[in-house]
Amino acid sequence: MTKSIFIASAEPYSGKSMIILGLADMLLGRTQKIGYLKPVVLSDTPEQPDPHISTVLSYFQLKQTYAASYVFTRQETMQQLKDQRQGAMIDAIITRYKALEAQYDFIVVEGSDYVGQGAAFEFETNRLIAKNLNTPALLLISGENKTPAEIIQEGLNFCRAYQEHDIQVLAVVANKVAPEQEASVRQLLAAQLPEGVLAAVVPMDAALQNPTVGDVFAQLKGRLLFGQEYLGNQVDHFVTGAMQVPNFLHYLKENVLIVTPGDRGDIIISSLQANLSSSYPRVAGIVLTADTIPEAPVMRLIEGLQNVVPIMAVRTGTFETTHEVAQVKARITPDNPHKIQLAIETFNRFIDVAALDKKIITYHSDAMTPHMFQYQLAQWAKREKKTIVLPEGNDDRILIAAARLLAQQLVNLVLLGNVTDIAASVKRLGIDLDVNTVPIIDPATSAQYDDYVNTLYELRKNKNLTLETARDLMTDVSYFGTMMVYKGHADGMVSGAVHTTQHTIRPALQFIKTRPGISTVSSIFFMCLADRVSVFGDCAVNPNPTAEQLAEIAISSADNGARFGITPRIAMLSYSSGTSGEGEDVDKVRRATQLVRAQRPDLKVEGPIQYDAAVDPAVGRQKLPGSEVAGQASVLIFPDLNTGNNTYKAVQRETGALAIGPMLQGLNKPVNDLSRGCTVDDVFNTVIITAIQSQPA
């Protein structure tokens, strides 16, 4: 049984970080604990930590130290080989690997980078490490500026070099292949690789392979004058601003970096104006050369502008600076979550994850960890793509989350709002969201407006709704979005980033209504704790539920927990456990527990029970010995909204847990409410959950 995989590249800048991040994400969706080891790094100084190690440890929050993630620097390795201490070097690497293996279920091992002095020895050293760790390999080659024949030959030679040393090769990945060559390279590589070796081809992607302004800034070591918050802007082109403005504007391309002397106020101002104009491409940033900055009036003008792109000043001249900019390579660093997410998305899109998974025998844990849960959510959403309407299309958080969701091909989306306003926001945010392909609907001008008005009137006229009121209501995005769901023009709706809970769910309660046999609409949160995912309900809807409502909430919560991969063990929470307490509140919980047992004898339920006895095995054994739920509850039902809402927020804030939700349960079709303080991740996760809810059970 293999517990590790070795990632090796054949040359520098092949895109190893994309493979490492994608693999780690895949593995954390299947196993509870992974370790990461890069035996040889370029440097171990605090001023220059290895970016791969820093990124992987930080992004996936791996519980290992930086020091435990490598063994030697390149210089130390070269000295070991020079002193003929190769055996001692390998022994030290094996020792570090075995220490990680004892702590983790799976180890991702990364080969060295081929950057800097001593690159010639690295091919053999990587192969030696993989052989001695008895680790199967995933091999990566770069297709940049190569013909298909050259790519195929390099892939075959690389694979053969490892197999000749009895190293099992799981896959060969050709990265940075020209898009027009992708199909032919994939076909030829798959046909010519040895049997059992997977072939994958990843086309060149400017968003992943091109540097950010921050990368340029780090390379040039300049002085940042403006735009700290936009250092993540992608640089696809660069141009020297040394001509007159009319001619200069002809050379602007999307995501362009402008290099110009600092005394060229005309170029600087026209560049900033072009970035604001809908008639010109987006400007990524400006580099001011020759150790000069704009004169005071120009600086004052820039200081009064909003959303100014990064402007940096450097000491070098324009020609030298332009040459340096051309040499900058893209990096994936811990402070760039967008590029990290893009790398993972690229891996999932172009690597046959299911086939690779079959080749990697992993330790499978019964525990549902937070990362596993979020990974499974994405996979479940992809099973049957659903259409979700987002009424608050003008909110920045909604748009950023929408771009992520569409990039990962998890759902289809409809945005409500003004097309011009949304397009302007997309440009300002610098996100990849094509307003020409994503449906954007203004309710008041929609072709469906009259039909929706008449439908609402027919549904609610017995509640004294007039036709004129129906017309007014249908200009409201919450009513319009809910009607889309009711009519089947969308499968679900997510709102609440701007609107109140009442505003969001009132239309759903009025005409989507509850499922047969359900009388209570309630909510649950998926609480992603350090080592498990628990279901909390109801923390958002019912202020003081009756015993009958509590029982219904518990059953709905258990069923939804099971649907999302959580084995339900229900704890009916109260301020006492078992038979120790008395009082009206305890009696209500005791009655609700009895109702759950009567209605669903298949469910494991305990109540009344205190929170500590529900989740702490030692306390559970002490207070309720022999209970199937005490100490291991996964579905926690709170006696009232006051308790539930405060508890979930306390747990979230004090433990750093991710709270996904609230997810409404009991409606005929899914409509979910966001908090007005929601983050982009909250929107992203809630949309995925809504899509899964709308799939057949």
DSSP per position, 9-41: ESSTTS-HHHHHHHHHHHHHTT-S-EEEE-SEE
Domains of the chain and any CATH numbers = 4-204+336-359 (3.40.50.300), 213-327 (3.40.1390.20), 370-512 (3.40.50.10950), 522-666 (3.40.50.10750)
Contact 368, 566 (CB under 8 A): yes
Q: What is the mean pLDDT of the chain?
A: 90
Helix H or strand E encompassing 171: strand 169-177
d(Cα 357, Cα 587) in Å, to the nearest integer? 50
* 19-35 pLDDT per residue, tens: 999 999 999 887 878 99
Beta bridge partners of 528: 533, 658
Determine the pLDDT at residue 363: 40
| pLDDT tier, 486 (very low <50, low <70, confident <90, very high otherwise) | very high
693 pLDDT exceeds 90?
Answer: yes
**β-bridge pairing 569-573 and 635-637:** parallel
d(Cα 9, Cα 110) in Å, to the nearest integer? 9
Determine the pLDDT at residue 658: 85
* 633-681 pLDDT per residue, tens: 999 999 999 999 999 999 988 888 888 888 999 999 999 999 888 889 8
Contact 144, 176 (CB under 8 A): yes
DSSP character at residue 271: H
Sorted by sequence, the CB contacts under 8 Å of residue 579 that are 6+ apart come out as none
d(Cα 537, Cα 558) in Å, to the nearest integer? 10
* Lowest mean pLDDT across 18-27, 76-85, 541-550: 76-85
Beta bridge partners of 311: 226, 286
* 212-264 pLDDT per residue, tens: 999 899 889 889 999 998 998 889 999 999 889 999 999 999 999 999 999 99
If one counts every other C-beta atom within 10 angstroms of the C-beta of residue 579, the result is 9
Which residue intervals of 290-352 are DSSP H helices? 296-303, 318-327, 337-350
* 127-156 pLDDT per residue, tens: 888 888 888 999 999 999 999 999 999 999
d(Cα 328, Cα 332) in Å, to the nearest integer? 13
Amino acid at 19: I
Determine the pLDDT at residue 46: 59
* Lowest mean pLDDT across 249-258, 324-333, 340-349, 442-451: 324-333
Take residue 480 and report the two structure tokens written for it: 């319009």
Take residue 696 and report the two structure tokens written for it: 């057949």
Average pLDDT of span 184-203: 94
Contact 240, 260 (CB under 8 A): yes
Q: 78: number of CA atoms within 13 Å, CB side?
A: 15
* 279-327 pLDDT per residue, tens: 899 999 999 999 899 999 999 999 988 889 999 999 999 999 999 999 8
Q: Is 451 helix (H, G, I), strand (E, B) or coil?
A: helix
Determine the pLDDT at residue 114: 76
Work out the burial of residue 574: count CB atoms within 10 Å of its CB; fewer than 13 is exposed, 13-18 middle, 19 or more buried.
buried
Contacts 24+ apart (CB under 8 A), 498-505: 498/392, 498/395, 498/676, 499/391, 499/392, 499/676, 500/676, 501/540, 501/541, 501/673, 503/478, 504/478, 504/671, 504/673, 504/674, 505/541, 505/664, 505/671, 505/673
Determine the pLDDT at residue 364: 46
* Lowest mean pLDDT across 481-490, 529-538, 589-598: 529-538
357 pLDDT exceeds 90?
Answer: no
Q: Is the dihedral of CA 503, 509, 515, 519 positive or negative?
A: positive
In the block, residue with structure tokens 């809402």? 645
If one counts every other C-beta atom within 10 angstroms of the C-beta of residue 420, the result is 12
Determine the pLDDT at residue 100: 92
**β-bridge pairing 533-537 and 522-528:** antiparallel
* 500-514 pLDDT per residue, tens: 888 888 999 999 998
Residue of 215, 152, 202, 185 whose CA lies nearest to 16? 202
**β-bridge pairing 237-240 and 256-261:** parallel
Q: What proportion of the chain, given as a percentage, has pLDDT over 90?
A: 62
Determine the pLDDT at residue 43: 75
DSSP character at residue 667: B
Q: What proportion of the chain, given as a percentage, has pLDDT over 70?
A: 97
d(Cα 528, Cα 530) in Å, to the nearest integer? 7
Residue of 633, 56, 696 whose CA lies nearest to 386? 696
d(Cα 590, Cα 607) in Å, to the nearest integer? 6
Contact 511, 460 (CB under 8 A): yes
Distances (CA, A) of 496 to 44, 318, 499, 645, 650: 47, 50, 5, 17, 21
Take residue 406 and report the two structure tokens written for it: 């569409």
266 pLDDT exceeds 70?
Answer: yes
Determine the pLDDT at residue 611: 94
Determine the pLDDT at residue 30: 79
118 pLDDT exceeds 60?
Answer: no
Average pLDDT of span 520-544: 90
